[in-house]
Amino acid sequence: MSGTLYLCATPIGNLNDITLRTLETLKAVDLIAAEDTRHSRILLDHFGITTPMTSYHEHNKYEKAGILVEKLLTGMNLALITDAGTPAISDPGEELVRQCLAAGISVTSLPGPCACITALTISGLPARRFCFEAFLPSEKKERRQVLEELKEETRTTILYEAPHRLGKTLAELCEALGERRLTICRELTKKYEEGWQTTLSEAASFYQENEARGEFVLVLEGRSAQALAEEKAREWEQMSLPEHLEFYLNQGMEKKEAMKQMAKDRGCTKREIYQGLL
């Protein structure tokens, strides 16, 4: 019988946020895999947990996940903790989960703190539908691509950012997306927690002037669905008649229906559209 991998969420600032089940599990398992064993030692010492630890981080995750899977296959139970928050959310946990599932090992998650959800709940922005972008890619082309996609994203978007890159990221977001409401969540669950309800332009100019300190989550308003629909509906203005037809055909319309819609868009008759297309 193989053991179980327990994903244990740990506090993102306030040690009291650890759950009773996480404490019991960290005491009971045979081994704890931690992103930074020195950092996690402080947490474990605080709660009197003496379970042995091993390191599992971004730079050893592929081969170390294999070693941990071997241990689980012998029947050992393992807990995974990362520097803070929920393992597998924007940290190396994902790879271990993937390898465990591929080896038929049972994986369970003990819910607890997670910076993105904590930020969303205090943002004051719509929380019914949201998307999580984590850190924007650092590679230029990929980053541009994500910024392009965000232009059309109508859901509230949650981003992580390191303090030394915050000013640059806010300036780029502002340039790509224009004005949007934004809540900057800083030092969540800690003594100086802040939730600043601002806008992209105000935050970008503030962080041009002021150094960012602490940990940040950005919660960004989605694009207005109505404005997006209006923009889409006007796209034909830049198109020739055949392009306009193609546009609707690509959306799955029948030719007749497309020509009717084209006439409506252009304020002319279907006959004029037909003749124009000849």
Residues lying near ligand SAM in the complex (CB under 6 A): 12-13, 82, 84-86, 89-91, 114-116, 160-162, 185, 187-190, 215-217
SS3 196: strand
Least gap, CB of 159 to ligand SAM (angstroms) = 8
172 and 204 Cβ atoms separated by less than 8 Å: no
Among residues 169, 171, 214, 167, the alpha carbon closest in space to that of 195 is found at: 214
Among residues 187 and 272, whose Cβ is nearest to ligand SAM?
187
Among residues 58 and 63, whose Cβ is nearest to ligand SAM?
58
Alpha helices in the chain (DSSP H): 20-28, 37-46, 61-73, 93-102, 115-123, 140-151, 166-177, 200-209, 225-233, 241-250, 255-266, 270-277
Question: How many residues are there in the chain?
Answer: 278
Distance CA(35)–CA(84), nearest Å, equals 9
CA distances from 30 to 42, 61, 201, 237 (A): 19, 20, 50, 66
Least gap, CB of 187 to ligand SAM (angstroms) = 5
Least gap, CB of 197 to ligand SAM (angstroms) = 16
Among residues 58 and 237, whose Cβ is nearest to ligand SAM?
58
Interstrand relation of 78-81 and 4-8 (parallel, antiparallel or unpaired): parallel
Among residues 219 and 259, whose Cβ is nearest to ligand SAM?
219
Least gap, CB of 25 to ligand SAM (angstroms) = 17
Among residues 105 and 166, whose Cβ is nearest to ligand SAM?
166
Among residues 51 and 189, whose Cβ is nearest to ligand SAM?
189
Among residues 100, 115, 23, 103, the alpha carbon closest in space to that of 65 is found at: 100
Among residues 56 and 216, whose Cβ is nearest to ligand SAM?
216
Strand partners, 199: 181
Least gap, CB of 222 to ligand SAM (angstroms) = 20
Least gap, CB of 97 to ligand SAM (angstroms) = 13
Least gap, CB of 14 to ligand SAM (angstroms) = 8
Nearest residue to ligand SAM, scored by beta-carbon proximity: 85
Sign of the Cα pseudo-torsion (40, 60, 142, 117, in order): negative
Token digits for 224? 């207005």
Least gap, CB of 118 to ligand SAM (angstroms) = 7
Distance CA(79)–CA(29), nearest Å, equals 6
Among residues 143 and 190, whose Cβ is nearest to ligand SAM?
190
Distance CA(273)–CA(266), nearest Å, equals 9
